[in-house]
Amino acid sequence: MTTLVESSGLPADAFSAKCPTRQVLDHIAGKWTVLVVDALQAGTMRYTELSRRVEGVSQKMLTQTLRALEADGFVTRTVHPTIPPRVEYDLTPLGRSLAEPITALRRWTEEHINEIEESRTRRVP
């Protein structure tokens, strides 16, 4: 059965410029999204934990990525009004579902990194 996009009644097709799938794919394709979603698969994480786990991410980008994931319904943000504040991030069921293909992609890359480095034409960016 083909997935239909509710309002349009058209089948979802990422190759079509008008399909909303494209926007979502663009978000997922962000530089840090894969790593953040993947990190959260290990379970609930606090802001600072995440920033340590995802090495090299600035707080600006981490915050921005988390806000986007929240807006897309992949992540929940829970604020405990204590002092000091404690903010926990967690995957929603939808986010956990997304984490599967995302983890697969990261794992593929890790597993094939040597092959890639070998077959790559010398061109260090």
Partner DNA sequence: CAGGATCCGATCAGATACTG
Partner DNA sequence: CAGTATCTGATCGGATCCTG
Q: Virtual CA dihedral for 59, 65, 17, 92, nearest 10 degrees?
A: 180
**Which residues in 29-68 contact its own copies (CB under 8 A)?**
29-31, 33-35, 38-39, 53-56
For its own copies, the closer of residues 14 and 63 by Cβ is 14
Question: Which of these segments, 2-10, 58-66, 79-87, binds its own copies (CB under 8 A)?
Answer: 2-10
Both tokens assigned to 106: 């990261």
**Which residues in 49-88 contact DNA (CB under 7 A)?**
49, 56-61, 63-64, 66-67, 77, 84-87
Distance CA 66, CA 70 (A): 6
Amino acid at 3: T
Binding partner selected for residue 9 from DNA, its own copies, none, CB under the kind-specific 5 to 8 Å limit: none
Q: Is 88 in the site for its own copies (CB under 8 A)?
A: no
Sheet holding 86-91, edge to edge: 45-46, 86-91, 75-80
